[in-house]
Amino acid sequence: MGNQRGLQFIKEAIKIFCMTAAVAGLLYLLIKGCNYLVVDDANSYTRLTLHEFYESEEEIETIFLGTSHCFRAYEPLLYEELTGECAYNLGSSSQNIDTSYYLLKEALKYQDIKKVYLDIYHEFLFFNPENRELVEANIISDYMKPSLNKLNFILSRSSSEHYTNSFFPFRRDWQLLGDFSYLKENLAKKNRDSYKNYEPVVYDDEEYVTKGFVASYAVLNPEHYQWIPKSDKVDLSADKSFALSYLEKIVDLCKKEGIEIIFLTAPSYEEYLDTKDSYEDIHEYVKELAQKYQVSYWDFNTCSENLLDLELEDFMDVDHLNASGAEKVTKCLAKFVLDELAN
């Protein structure tokens, strides 16, 4: 009698498990289908960046982390050609420092990273998580592989009221499920071989090249801006605790793993820098942070012209480089690296 009850219990448990697994599988397929129908990512750079990173068979030893200033300034293929270091650019639009931290952890799961360049754009030091635009994090987490790291990233970056939008991308624009013309157009994009094969995106006057680098061929038109010297007040006393806590986590993780970390700042157009109340103070503050953490800091805004001669034609806008500017900065960075090795 006891054996029969035991067998019956096992059969019921297996039945419940199979039903649960079937429901979970159907739910997963439903969510995946809705994401495919609704999410328009045909021109997504991060979709290509993370797919290429995950699929890479190279032994990547150097990565770049940071905002759009990063993925437009440092060209991995050229850097690799000049230094011999296999590199990859994991920059993304408006990448906050906590996003950089989780991307670093993700990279370490797949590659034996030896060097990290963290590009620091000063405005993101004053980031307030309560005012966060989740799109900058979503464009990363949407394409991360399922893992505990991804789960922690999603849970840490927002309150529970935003979890549905974070875990289920289609939920952000769920009303589009009823817009059949939109769905038809979106499906047409995704049925193209270029989308299925993750071919580089060419968008207006710029393109995804490879290894996370985006080349722009636009040129800054200064007539579109009003230059007022010292008009942009930067309050260095503002709360920076959130960003600094993750900056410290990045440095600690690198030191724990024996990874060399270097702070960088990509250059901005000179007249734009003059609008800052005191860029010198900003530079000194980041320099002090670097000294505190005992890491090098290379600010390309402070390079002499004989090292880095940037002109108007090297910028796509006031604080983003175009392809020619990125080539100059990458060559300058490589020179710094080679000079350090020589010494």
**Better-scored residue on pLDDT, 213 or 26:** 213
Task: Name which of 286, 287, 298, 283 is nearest 332 in CA terms.
Answer: 298
Confidence bin at 54 (pLDDT 50/70/90)? very high
Q: Reply yes or no on whether the pLDDT at 99 is more than 60.
A: yes
Tokens of 111: 């590659």
Q: Phi, psi (5° rounding) for residue 278? A: -165, 90
> pLDDT per residue over 193-252, tens digit each?
999 999 998 988 999 999 999 999 999 998 877 666 666 677 788 888 999 999 999 999
Query: So what's the pLDDT on residue 88?
Result: 98
Instruction: Report the alpha-carbon distance of residue 222 to residue 209 in Å, rounded.
Output: 27
pTM over 0.95: no
158 near 132, Cβ under 8 Å? yes
Query: So what's the pLDDT on residue 332?
Result: 97
Tokens 């979503």 belong to 138
282: left (phi over 0), alpha (psi -120 to 50) or beta: alpha
SS3 content of the chain, % helix, strand, coil (to 5): 55, 10, 30
Q: Reply yes or no on whether the pLDDT at 47 is more than 80.
A: yes
Query: So what's the pLDDT on residue 210?
Result: 96
Which amino acid, residue 112? D
Instruction: Report the alpha-carbon distance of residue 38 to residue 142 in Å, rounded.
Output: 13
Query: So what's the pLDDT on residue 30?
Result: 72
Mean pLDDT of the chain: 89
